[in-house]
């Protein structure tokens, strides 16, 4: 009953099984096979329990790593959707905001209501609505209340998990839906984003000219977003908007993926389509995590603002 090629911790387990099975077969007593004694059973149970305890951290780490890989893969798919969109829209990225908390007419969700302001009309061109059709996915606005994508869907990171208490949120995530991926909201703060090219009437169906980006491999496009309000602002103040918006700032970056036994971090999709894992995106020179400091990065930070400072305010 030899098993070749077995490595610890499985080898000792099967050796123990071999030992007891041989004793059971080869030690007849009074014409019957000898049964295990209570001590033998207790030893076997204890050994198996110890093996399970030893293996559990490795299994948890493997599961977390698998979620990390799936999350990175999904972000790359979103990157493909961005690329498809820019090809069809003269090199422009979509808007980072969307119909986060506005439920369109369920009978015709693609038509904005009459009399809507131009600044609000831009939200109808948010990335969660215009990108999914590029890769044969259903737009966010086509989901109704209680039916928004939950965990284990393309819209959500596999590690996405809401806090147990809904009272921690400033909205109703299970009714309104939530976002575990957020587009870099600093992109819309750049003045170039608000100047439609060629005299096109505002709002554009897209708003950021990728041709002007100097270093797309450094520009953050999408990132894992915080979902547990208790971890907001460095854990000092609840962040009740956690997961509420599809566009957010660096302070919303979530450290939900494990690397090794103790290091936590998250995935980011960059402007050139590559995905990277980072422990944190917050830089010491930005100062402390405080409520009035959400936007965080100075305007010359190349990771969050795509154009050099000299080009801002120009076409």
Percent of the chain with pLDDT over 70: 69
Q: Who's near 152: CB < 8 A, 6+ residues apart?
A: 158
User: What is the pLDDT at residue 221?
Assistant: 95
In a domain? residue 253: yes
Same domain, 210 and 106: yes
Identify the band that residue 224 occupies on the pLDDT scale cut at 50, 70 and 90. very high
In a domain? residue 3: no
Same domain, 121 and 184: yes
In a domain? residue 79: yes
In a domain? residue 44: yes
Same domain, 35 and 157: no
**144-148, 272-276, 308-312: which range is least confident on average?**
308-312
Output the CA–CA distances (angstroms, integers) from residue 303 to 83, 242, 270, in the order listed: 19, 22, 9
What pLDDT, in 10s, does the model give residues 17-56? 455 455 454 445 555 556 668 777 788 888 888 777 776 6
In a domain? residue 57: no
Q: Which domain holds residue 263?
A: 62-311
Same domain, 105 and 235: yes
- Looking at the predicted structure, is the pLDDT value of residue 3 above 50? no
- Looking at the predicted structure, is the pLDDT value of residue 96 above 80? yes
User: What is the pLDDT at residue 84?
Assistant: 93
User: What is the pLDDT at residue 83?
Assistant: 94
Distance (Å, rounded) from C-alpha 58 to C-alpha 63? 9
User: What is the pLDDT at residue 102?
Assistant: 64
In a domain? residue 4: no
Same domain, 117 and 246: yes
In a domain? residue 2: no
Same domain, 209 and 283: yes
User: What is the pLDDT at residue 101?
Assistant: 54
What pLDDT, in 10s, does the model give residues 166-223? 889 999 998 888 999 999 988 877 666 655 544 445 545 557 888 888 889 999 999 9
Same domain, 113 and 26: no
User: What is the pLDDT at residue 268?
Assistant: 95
User: What is the pLDDT at residue 269?
Assistant: 96
User: What is the pLDDT at residue 77?
Assistant: 93
Same domain, 145 and 119: yes
Percent of the chain with pLDDT over 90: 17
User: What is the pLDDT at residue 197?
Assistant: 46
Same domain, 103 and 156: yes
Same domain, 171 and 38: no
User: What is the pLDDT at residue 100?
Assistant: 60
Same domain, 121 and 247: yes
User: What is the pLDDT at residue 265?
Assistant: 85
Phi, psi of 263 (to 5 degrees): -80, 125
When divided into structural domains, the chain yields a total of 2
In a domain? residue 1: no
Same domain, 229 and 149: yes
User: What is the pLDDT at residue 103?
Assistant: 62
**116-120, 144-148, 251-255, 310-314: which range is least confident on average?**
310-314
């Amino acid at each position: 009953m030899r098993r070749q090629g077995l490595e610890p911790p499985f080898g000792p387990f099967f050796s123990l099984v071999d030992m007891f099975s041989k004793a059971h077969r080869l030690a007849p007593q009074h014409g019957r096979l000898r049964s295990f004694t209570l001590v033998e059973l207790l030893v076997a149970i204890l050994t198996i329990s110890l093996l399970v305890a030893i293996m559990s951290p490795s299994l948890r780490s493997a599961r977390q790593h698998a979620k990390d890989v799936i999350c990175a893969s999904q972000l790359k798919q979103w990157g493909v959707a961005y690329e498809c969109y820019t090809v069809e829209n003269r090199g422009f990225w979509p808007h980072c905001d969307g119909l986060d908390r506005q439920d369109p007419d369920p009978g015709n969700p693609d038509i904005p209501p009459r009399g809507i302001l131009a600044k609000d009309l831009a939200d109808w061109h948010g990335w969660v609505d215009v990108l999914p059709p590029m890769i044969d996915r259903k737009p966010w606005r086509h989901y109704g209340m209680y039916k928004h994508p939950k965990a284990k869907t393309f819209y959500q990171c596999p590690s996405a998990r809401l806090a147990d208490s809904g009272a921690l949120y400033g909205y109703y995530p299970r009714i309104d839906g939530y976002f575990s991926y957020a587009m870099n909201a600093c992109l819309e703060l750049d003045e170039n984003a608000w100047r439609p090219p060629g005299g096109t009437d505002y709002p554009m169906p897209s708003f950021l000219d990728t041709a002007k980006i100097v270093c797309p491999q450094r520009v953050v496009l999408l990132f894992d977003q915080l979902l547990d309000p208790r971890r907001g602002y460095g854990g000092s103040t609840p962040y009740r908007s956690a997961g509420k918006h599809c566009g957010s700032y660096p302070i919303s970056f979530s450290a939900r993926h494990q690397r090794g036994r103790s290091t936590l971090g998250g995935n980011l999709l960059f402007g050139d389509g590559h995905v990277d894992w980072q422990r944190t995106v917050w830089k010491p020179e930005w100062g402390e995590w405080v409520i009035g400091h959400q936007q965080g990065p100075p305007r010359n930070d190349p990771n969050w603002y795509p154009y050099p400072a000299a080009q801002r305010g120009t076409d």
